[in-house]
Amino acid sequence: MSTTLPTRPLDSAAARTVVAPVVPSRARLRPLGLDEVRITGGFWGERQRVNAAHTLSHILDRLESEGWLPNFDRAAAGTLPAGRRGREFSDSEVYKYLEAAAWELGRHDDEELERTFRAVVERVGAAQEIDGYLNTEFGRPGQQPRWSDLEWGHELYCLGHLFQAAVARERTRPGADDGLLLIARRAADLVCEVFGADGIPSFCGHPEIEAALAELARVTGDERYAAQAALFVARRGHDTLADIEWGRRYFQDDVPIRDATALSGHAVRANYLAAGAVDVAVETRDDDLLDALRAQWTRTRGRRTYITGGQGSHHQDEAFGDDWELPSDRAYSETCAGIASVMFSWRLLLSGGESAYADLIERTLFNVVATSPSADGRSFFYANTLHQRVPGVVPDPDATSPRASSSLRAPWFEVSCCPPNVARTLASLDAYIATADDRGIQIHQYAPAEIRTTLDDGRDVSLRVDTAYPSDGTVRVSVDRDADEPWTLSLRVPEWAEGAAIRVWSGGAVVETVSVAPGRADVTRAFRAGDVVELELPMAPRVVDPDPRIDAVRGCVAVERGPEVLALESTDLSGHGDVGEVALDRGSTPTEQDGRVWVDVARRAAHPGDWPYTQAVSGGLGETERVALVPYHDWGNRGPSTMRVWIPTA
Amino acid sequence: MSTTLPTRPLDSAAARTVVAPVVPSRARLRPLGLDEVRITGGFWGERQRVNAAHTLSHILDRLESEGWLPNFDRAAAGTLPAGRRGREFSDSEVYKYLEAAAWELGRHDDEELERTFRAVVERVGAAQEIDGYLNTEFGRPGQQPRWSDLEWGHELYCLGHLFQAAVARERTRPGADDGLLLIARRAADLVCEVFGADGIPSFCGHPEIEAALAELARVTGDERYAAQAALFVARRGHDTLADIEWGRRYFQDDVPIRDATALSGHAVRANYLAAGAVDVAVETRDDDLLDALRAQWTRTRGRRTYITGGQGSHHQDEAFGDDWELPSDRAYSETCAGIASVMFSWRLLLSGGESAYADLIERTLFNVVATSPSADGRSFFYANTLHQRVPGVVPDPDATSPRASSSLRAPWFEVSCCPPNVARTLASLDAYIATADDRGIQIHQYAPAEIRTTLDDGRDVSLRVDTAYPSDGTVRVSVDRDADEPWTLSLRVPEWAEGAAIRVWSGGAVVETVSVAPGRADVTRAFRAGDVVELELPMAPRVVDPDPRIDAVRGCVAVERGPEVLALESTDLSGHGDVGEVALDRGSTPTEQDGRVWVDVARRAAHPGDWPYTQAVSGGLGETERVALVPYHDWGNRGPSTMRVWIPTA
């Protein structure tokens, strides 16, 4: 598939003012920012509320108590390295907090948060060196020299997150006098000087700065940053970084990006890099690179992605496995990899418009991003297993957990990338709901929302989305303004939604009913105020089989309902039995009752003997019971349990 | 099960003179040493030949070229830490080489090997410090202090291997004037002083010294060493070592050994420790501890062991997973864990006599230990996957491979524990063939061999074993001496050998034919010279089902023949197809032809669509072909390939 993007660029002023994380200068779809789309409640609205009310302050408390924010004070005071705490990338968590807070301040005014934000920026700025360098781990007497450990040092990675924070601030508070954009630009200028065409011919072991520099170019109009991003992308894949136990694939330095066939290596790195490479391809009009990235996305989605949308099947190197290597029990499926996958998919969606990208975003949001935080927003899954065999241990609320060994949500981690990554994603989620193009509006994700924008021809459009999705499959989009000329409201029909229908109401009556197939359903009308387009998505539970090449889940099924993957949790079994001991009756149909999905499972008779590999094993089944499944994103919220997404069939 | 061992101890002189790695002072079975059992050819004889002819010199070459042996020269010259090479445990590889060479010298005289051995001992001895301390990584100016990093430093681990080398030397060349035993004793005396009851109340993160100290006590008669081993065992499991990301379970410090229910944590550590704990339990008459270890063995074998006998299902921490967590594709199944498991099983076999221990030893020897070395004895598997999805890359013969990322056998590793561990095991394998008790002789493993010993009542017994096992299932044991009184020849009937039979020949005629069940078959006779006991083991290929709780191989079968697990390798598929694309016809029976086992497999039709989780997947099958399986231990010998032990059924 060759993709030719519209050649008419957004004018750079527009690129600077759209209040969204990603504003390409060329794209098939134009992003709608936080001032144009507002989630007003529902599944995601509640999570945004908790994020604003609890998660941001929880993160700030930990940044202080862990010493990661005070590291900047020590840097400013000139006392480092004495007393420095945290890992080499801890600066980045402060920047992600700033980004989250900036988006949140773009959603609503909050004087206290604004004061906090400015205070943190001031502490960060005070640590910046005269030439723009900013990092608390490197460069001082007693520390390693600057840029001396590109494989593991994360200096450029940290700056990438700083730039993204500055972009968020500039888009939500243009020209704010807090100085964050200036801090970012001074650091970015230094990066361009040090790593430019005549500089160090290398790049960061952990991608992140690529997409950040591209966006900083878009928000500032300074093309040097985009050129530096392109340089970083082009340098990768030529065995530049040192070899390591897991090979240079770990940091995507084994093969040039345009020659890769699927994402591989460390799953967060791979997705961050792919997102940045899309930005570079778009800005440099490199359609070959863009096509390569689309093909990689397709293969990765088809062969290296869990049913939850999760990616990364190795704990050891937090990496993708081979095609079809998707173990449930050792699924790493890091929360940050899910977020990074959304970033990659979103950029491809803007560039090409295909609904499959939005499908994967939905799946990942509901089943990875929503799974990580607890209901109170103060603890998180770092890894997202699909099969828990042994009940976890409740983490000490005051302790810091190793990153992935906790089998229940934990308040903080030694490597704590996931909590602030979730926070910045939720705080900017409104920007992933809808887009516009020269024909009209596209709605990609369903949530109660208000959408107001101006179409390319200058007409103002105002919509309201009412829905209890995903509890209910009805999505009502009300048009609030008359239009003289037709325009197109485009609604995504998810890949799982066979049998969906659209009803168009006008003047209080249904004027049109259409069956719609998965993909995109376009309604083109000269809409009148009060017109309603109603999408009816089939929400009956679905029993899903895996591709037979996925060895880990052979002979199992999963149950989904709408965009949610469901799970069997021991909490729901009689006697809190072990989910390893049951099988699902393949003949029975899941039913819905009391807002839950129920299936019939049978207890498996114990295996005879104590050597597990024998001829003629009796696979007898015992009593059957009806058990309720839990949405996967809610598992582990009722105390230690065992859990499985893929259920063996009898 | 409570086990009461015979209270009559072997006299300590005997314990000192049996030429075997393990000579307990109390045991149900008495080990027969290298001077009593000699493997004369066949499957294992060939591997011993290659080990002696090629592997030992290959290892020594690498110890020199990698600088691990020269580290001792630098220590002696006082120039360390400058120029030190290798990981913190590299000393141990030199000691394992010495142990292997010592056993080999016990099997046959070899002047050149003897000279080499003495030269290496001299270089090691020159590095020993005045107080007995011996380690090239710690304790000098510019190095970490002695015993300052018990979690990771491996100082005691290295000494454990030194002691085992000295034990091997003393048993094969009692009183040799090379000084190795003195070097070991001086170091052991220091360990007892530093870590004794009033010393540092801790132990080594990597168990190994426990079993080594117990054996050093047995060979020297010095009870202090046994007491120190008991102290190390008793101290474990009380949160003494620092916590790490994977928890203290990693080094078996999470629960006291006698309270554990299964082996857990790092699989080599767990098995080495269990082996040492058996030694301690035997020597201290601690039957509760011994019973706990037996129960752990049973549960580990039943729920945490691969069909190959391999153990350890995590790459990340080289550790056991939870019960039933046995992925084929990410099987770590480290070669050293297989060897360590043999060490644990062997000690329990000696102590209790049950044939199940010998069954697991056989399975592990044929399918883990024999799998590691290439036919030329110069390259090795470190990890032993049961499913290779992507053909591996041929390692550079001059390079050093990361420990487990090589998907083909590699000549050497940065962590190169496996090659010398295989070498010492093969060089002492004769000692694992047979034992004696007060009733007669027990044969546990089948190989062409000569066995000569003196029974407890003073009678000399001489046997010859003729067999082409495992190619053929006939094992003929010929008795070479007349006996006036009856004695018992006890033959193990492997757990898989349903339908085995024994024929007794005397005077050229069959005098008795008996069907024998798996377990132990005893033939008690007043044997005459020329009598033959012929065991006929059924060698038809067996199709084996896994316990349904092993999620990773649900819906698959494996094929075994005799003690060998077979595998499907792409090399044998037409067009070198992908083993991921075939399914086995469950209805068809494997057949034997041309010395190979053949099965019918069908090509699976491609899965429709590119999202792998859908309703109503078509599982269509294409053409069928007859394909030969390969013994698992031989896979990967014909170049890069894909391979699977567990084959999906149609």
What would the mean pLDDT of B303-315 be, rounded to a whole number?
A: 97
Whether the per-residue pLDDT at B7 is higher than 50: the answer is: no
* Contact residues on chain B for A315, CB-CB shorter than 8 A: 314-316
Instruction: Name which of A316, A495, A604 is nearest B611 (Cβ-Cβ).
Output: A495
Residue of A439, A447, A440, A372 whose CA lies nearest to A411 = A372
Q: Where are the alpha helices (DSSP H) in A208-266?
A: 209-220, 223-235
CA distance readout (Å), B112 to A504, B53, B102, B115, B647:
94, 12, 13, 5, 48
What are the pLDDT digits (tens) for A62-77?
999 999 999 999 999 9
Classify domain A436-536 at the CATH topology level: Immunoglobulin-like (2.60.40)
What are the pLDDT digits (tens) for B183-238?
999 999 999 999 999 999 999 999 999 999 999 999 999 999 999 999 999 999 99
| CB–CB contact B581 A549 (8 Å) | yes
Q: What is the chain A residue with the closest CA to B580?
A: A549
pTM: 0.94
Confidence of residue A348 (pLDDT cuts 50, 70, 90): very high
- Measured distance CA(A490)–CA(A451) in Å, rounded: 13
Separation in Å, CA of B101 to nearest CA in chain A: 31
Judge residue A239's burial from the number of C-beta atoms within 10 Å of its C-beta, 0-12 exposed, 13-18 middle, 19 or more buried: exposed
| pLDDT mean across residues, chain A | 94
| CB–CB contact A322 B329 (8 Å) | yes
What are the pLDDT digits (tens) for A285-341?
999 999 999 999 999 999 999 999 999 999 999 999 999 999 999 999 999 999 999
* Contact residues on chain B for A307, CB-CB shorter than 8 A: 613
Q: What is the pLDDT of residue A8?
A: 37
| Ranges of each domain in chain B | 12-242+269-294+388-432, 435-536, 542-648
What are the pLDDT digits (tens) for A5-44?
443 344 555 655 799 999 999 999 999 999 999 999 999 9
Helix (H, G, I), strand (E, B) or coil at B88: coil
* Contact residues on chain B for A612, CB-CB shorter than 8 A: 302-303, 305, 546-547, 549-550
* Contact residues on chain A for B548, CB-CB shorter than 8 A: 583, 604, 607, 617, 619, 648
Half-sphere exposure of B264 (CA within 13 A, CB side): 21
* Contact residues on chain A for B606, CB-CB shorter than 8 A: none
* Contact residues on chain B for A613, CB-CB shorter than 8 A: 307, 544-547, 558
Q: What is the pLDDT of residue B588?
A: 82
| Backbone φ/ψ region at A202: left (φ over 0), alpha (ψ -120 to 50), beta | beta
The CA-based angle A599-A602-A607, given to 5 degrees, is 150
Rounded to an integer, what is the distance from CA B598 to the centroid of its chain? 30
| CB–CB contact B389 A325 (8 Å) | yes
What are the pLDDT digits (tens) for B556-601?
999 999 999 999 999 999 887 789 889 998 888 999 999 999 999 9
Look-up: residue for tokens 């030199």? B94
ipTM: 0.91
* Contact residues on chain B for A554, CB-CB shorter than 8 A: 554-556, 648
Q: Which of A261, A549, A613 to mutate to probe the B interface, most B CBs <10 Å?
A: A613
Residue of A537, A594, A590, A539 whose CA lies nearest to A567 = A590
Contact partners, residue A549, CB within 8 Å, separation at least 6: A303, A323, A324, B580, B581, B604, B607, B612
The answer to whether B120 and B94 are in contact (CB under 8 A) is yes
- Measured distance CA(A254)–CA(B399) in Å, rounded: 18
| CB–CB contact A610 B298 (8 Å) | yes
Q: What is the chain B residue with the closest CA to A325?
A: B329
Instruction: Name which of A549, A552, A614 is nearest B552 (Cβ-Cβ).
Output: A552
Separation in Å, CA of A546 to nearest CA in chain B: 5
CATH class of A20-432: mainly alpha
Instruction: Name which of B307, B545, B581 is nearest A617 (Cβ-Cβ).
Output: B545
Q: What is the pLDDT of residue A9?
A: 46
| CB–CB contact B245 A581 (8 Å) | no
CATH 2.60.40.1180 fits B435-536, yes or no: yes
Q: What is the pLDDT of residue B9?
A: 46
| CB–CB contact A328 B551 (8 Å) | yes
Q: What is the chain A residue with the closest CA to B307?
A: A613
Look-up: residue for tokens 């018990």? B150
Q: What is the pLDDT of residue A5?
A: 43
Would you call the peptide bond into B31 cis, given omega within 30 degrees of 0 as the criterion?
Answer: no
| CB–CB contact A615 B325 (8 Å) | no
| CB–CB contact B551 A550 (8 Å) | no
| CB–CB contact A547 B607 (8 Å) | yes
CA distance readout (Å), A27 to A340, A346, A361, A430:
20, 11, 18, 19
* Contact residues on chain B for A577, CB-CB shorter than 8 A: none
Whether the per-residue pLDDT at B31 is higher than 90: the answer is: yes
The least confident of A223-232, A540-549, B84-93, B406-415 is: B406-415
B303-306 contacts, C-beta under 8 A, 24 or more apart = B303/A612, B303/B262, B303/B549, B304/B262, B304/B263, B305/A612, B305/B341, B305/B360, B306/B331, B306/B333, B306/B386
| CB–CB contact B613 A303 (8 Å) | no
Q: What is the chain B residue with the closest CA to A407?
A: B246
The full DSSP string for B357-397 is HHHHHHHHIIIIITTSB-TTSS-B-SS--SEE-S---PPPT
Q: Residues of B363-374 as b/e, b for ≥16 C-beta within 10 angstroms? A: bbbbbbbbbbbb
What would the mean pLDDT of A188-214 be, rounded to a whole number?
A: 98
Separation in Å, CA of B419 to nearest CA in chain A: 19
Q: What is the pLDDT of residue B581?
A: 86
- Measured distance CA(B282)–CA(B297) in Å, rounded: 16
- Measured distance CA(A632)–CA(A620) in Å, rounded: 29
Confidence of residue B10 (pLDDT cuts 50, 70, 90): very low
| CB–CB contact B543 A615 (8 Å) | yes
Separation in Å, CA of B560 to nearest CA in chain A: 10
- Measured distance CA(A166)–CA(A169) in Å, rounded: 5
Q: What is the pLDDT of residue B258?
A: 97
Instruction: Name which of A322, A543, A619 is nearest B615 (Cβ-Cβ).
Output: A543
Confidence of residue A608 (pLDDT cuts 50, 70, 90): low
Half-sphere exposure of B34 (CA within 13 A, CB side): 23
Whether the per-residue pLDDT at A132 is higher than 90: the answer is: yes
In SS3 terms, B112-130 reads as: HHHHHHHHHHHHHHHCCCC
Separation in Å, CA of B516 to nearest CA in chain A: 19
Q: What is the pLDDT of residue B458?
A: 86
| Torsion sign (Cα): B630, B635, B637, B638 | positive
* Contact residues on chain B for A550, CB-CB shorter than 8 A: 612
| CB–CB contact B551 A329 (8 Å) | yes
Q: Which of B613, B621, B649 to mutate to probe the A interface, most A CBs <10 Å?
A: B613
- Measured distance CA(A505)–CA(A502) in Å, rounded: 10
Helix (H, G, I), strand (E, B) or coil at B240: coil
Helix A267-284 with A223-235: angle, nearest 10 deg: 130
Contact partners, residue A574, CB within 8 Å, separation at least 6: A625, A627
Torsion of CA B301, B303, B309, B312, to 10 degrees: -110
Q: What is the chain A residue with the closest CA to B578?
A: A549
| CB–CB contact B545 A324 (8 Å) | no
Instruction: Name which of A543, A552, A648 is nearest B327 (Cβ-Cβ).
Output: A552
| CB–CB contact A402 B314 (8 Å) | no
| CB–CB contact B614 A314 (8 Å) | no
Judge residue B409's burial from the number of C-beta atoms within 10 Å of its C-beta, 0-12 exposed, 13-18 middle, 19 or more buried: buried
| Torsion sign (Cα): A54, A451, A498, A353 | negative
What are the pLDDT digits (tens) for A479-497?
999 988 999 999 999 999 9
| CB–CB contact B547 A387 (8 Å) | no
- Measured distance CA(B155)–CA(B157) in Å, rounded: 5
For chains A and B, CB pairs below 8 A equal 166
